[in-house]
Amino acid sequence: MLLALPVAVLLSRGLSSRAWEGLPNSATILSAALLSFTSTFAVVCLAAVLGTPLAYALSRYNFRGKRLVSLFIELPIVMPPAVAGLALLLTFGRSGVVGSLLADSGVIIPFSILAVVIAQFFISAPFYIRSAQVGFSSIAGEIEDAARVDGAHGWLMFWYITLPIAWRALVSGMILSWARALGEFGATILFAGNLQGKTQTMPLLVYSIFERDIDAAIWTGLVLIALAMIALFLSQSFARAQDRLT
C-alpha cells in the first residue's frame, strides 16, 4: 500500500480535478516532449554502442580490477542525482577537468542539449549494461563451445550465436535505460539547467508547472508515469522471455 497508494492518489486527483485543463500551452509541452524523446533515443543508442561490448567483456573475462570497474559502472544507480549533476559540472564545466580543454576549442557543454544527453546517459546507462551482462552470462557455455567446433569464432560467433540468444535481455535493458533517462531530473537540472525550449525536458516541465499550478503538474506527471509503466511492463516481458529461453 505504501508503494501503490501514492500513485493511485495521484491518478485519482488528476482525474477528479480535470487537471489536464491546466496544462501549459501546447508549444511548451511539444518542445519538452520532443527534447525528452530525442535525447533519450540518443542515450539508448549510445548505451547500446558503448555498453554492449563492455557488458560482454564483464560477463566473459576475468581481469584485475573487474570488481572496481563494476562498482563504478553501477554507482550512478545509487548515487544521489544532485551529486551526479555536480560531478558532471565539475568535470565538463567551463573550468572542469575536461570542460576547460573543450572550452579552449570553443565547445561549451553545460546548459546545452549535449549536457542533457550526458546527464541522462550517466544516470541510465548502468541499467542497460547490467541487463546486458546478465543476458550474456545466462548463455550456456556449451552453446558457444559447440559453435566453435563448427568453425564460428570472434565476431561471427557473437553476431550469429550470442546476440540472437541474448537479444531479449538487451532490449529489456534498453527499455529500462530509456525509462530511467526519460524520468531523469536532478542531474539534468544541475548540469543542463531548465531552459524552456532548449534544455527543459518533461520532468523539468513538471517542476516548472508545479510552481504555478499543481493540477497541471499532476497531469503532466501522470503522462510520465504511464510511459514508465509501459516501459516496465515491456522490460519485464522481455526478461521473462529470456529466462524461459535459457
Using the predicted structure, report yes or no on whether residue 6 has a pLDDT greater than 60: yes
The pLDDT of 178-187, averaged and rounded, is 92
Can you spell out the DSSP letters for 78-129? HS-HHHHHHHHHHHHSTTSTTHHHHHHTT---TTSHHHHHHHHHHHHHHHHH
Its pTM stands at 0.85
The pLDDT of 224-229, averaged and rounded, is 84
pLDDT at residue 218, as a whole number: 79
The pLDDT of 220-233, averaged and rounded, is 83
User: 78: which residues sit within 8 A by CB, 6+ positions away?
Assistant: none
pLDDT at residue 139, as a whole number: 82
pLDDT tens track for 118-148: 999 999 999 999 999 999 988 877 777 777 7
pLDDT at residue 152, as a whole number: 67
pLDDT at residue 98, as a whole number: 93
The pLDDT of 95-113, averaged and rounded, is 90
Whole-number Å distance between alpha carbons of 246 and 242: 6
Give me the phi and psi of 219, to 5 degrees please.
-65, -40
C-alpha cell at 174: 534498453
pLDDT tens track for 45-98: 999 999 999 999 999 888 888 999 999 999 999 999 999 999 999 999 988 899
Quote the crossing angle between the two packed helices 163-182 and 113-137, to the nearest 10°. Answer: 140
Domains of the chain: 30-218+226-245 (1.10.3720.10)
Amino acid at 22: G
